[in-house]
Amino acid sequence: MLMLFFNKFLSDQIPYVESGTYVAYNNENSGVVECLKKDGIVDLDSEFQSAPDWVSIQAMINSWLADALTYELWVGTDGRSAYKIYYSDLSWPIGKVLFLKQVYSVKQRLGITKDNAEHREDEIYRRAKIAYGALSTKLGEQNFLFDDRPSSLDATFLGHVLVTLHALPDTSVLRSKLLEHDNIVRYAEKLKTELIESGSSSSGPQFRSVPSSSTPRKGPSNWSSKPKSKPKREKTEEEKTFKRRAKYFLAAQLLAVLLFLSVMGGYDSGDLELDDEDEGISFN
């Protein structure tokens, strides 16, 4: 289950859980965790929801830390990380427009305006610092947040920590605040090694993914590796001719527009006069 949530951030496919004849997709009914709970397959949190600090920890992870990561991806790092993950494979004009639209949407959701941008930034980072401190204290040297069994909060928190560590640049403020807590970093790296790099156990539920053209394409699973550059194909003579003609066509259209504007600008409605012989024309 923990691996599923991490894959949600890194894969360009829709994750799902398959157990026997049962299949739950992560893009339906509030995600896999809620599907498993609603359908009576498994409830990861049944033993922990009565814990006195369950609600507060859930609020910190799903609200304060979620907002902090969203802010850092789209605003705090000038959006470089988010642009690389979501739009780097699109043509520049389309990718840039979609990126700016999403940045605007994020600022609206977080209540950020020109007047309060600095105040909201301080507040978001302050809450993230408090949340990391509280979660670090709660975790201690345990394997999971609650006792020795994972919960849905472990899955969500693991995804947050790994994205913060591996997707954000070294200059990220949020990343630096997370690195202040060594036990959280060890917790995430340990689970990453056990659940992701070593593969899932064959005896448990199978975590797979199916292709989806509707989901945004994200970066590769190895964030530090550089994609292999494809050999540049030499253009044919026909393609070169077509491109040259397209440039001429655009230039001609631009020239026509400029000429039209210059001609129309030379006329002033006040300068138009009727001939004397036309003044006597009347309409019966």
The beta-carbon contacts of 136-139 under 8 Å, at least 24 apart in sequence, are 136/181, 136/183, 136/184, 138/53, 138/57, 139/183, 139/184, 139/187
Q: How far apart are CA 268 and CA 256, in angstroms?
A: 21
The domain made up of 2-211 is a member of CATH 2.60.40.730 = no
pLDDT (0 to 100) of residue 190: 92
Q: How far is CA 273 from CA 38, 261, 276, 277, in A?
A: 81, 22, 9, 12
pLDDT by residue for the chain (284 residues), tens digit each? 444 444 444 444 566 777 778 887 776 766 777 888 888 888 878 888 888 899 999 999 999 999 999 999 999 988 888 888 888 888 888 989 999 999 999 999 999 999 999 999 999 999 999 999 999 999 999 999 987 888 989 989 998 999 999 989 999 999 999 999 999 999 999 998 887 766 544 444 444 444 433 333 333 333 333 444 445 556 666 666 656 655 555 555 555 555 555 555 554 444 444 444 444 444 44
**What is the reported pLDDT for 13?**
55
pLDDT of the residue at 242: 57
Say how many C-beta atoms besides its own lie within 10 A of residue 151's C-beta: 26
Token duo for residue 88: 């780097």
pLDDT at 260: 55
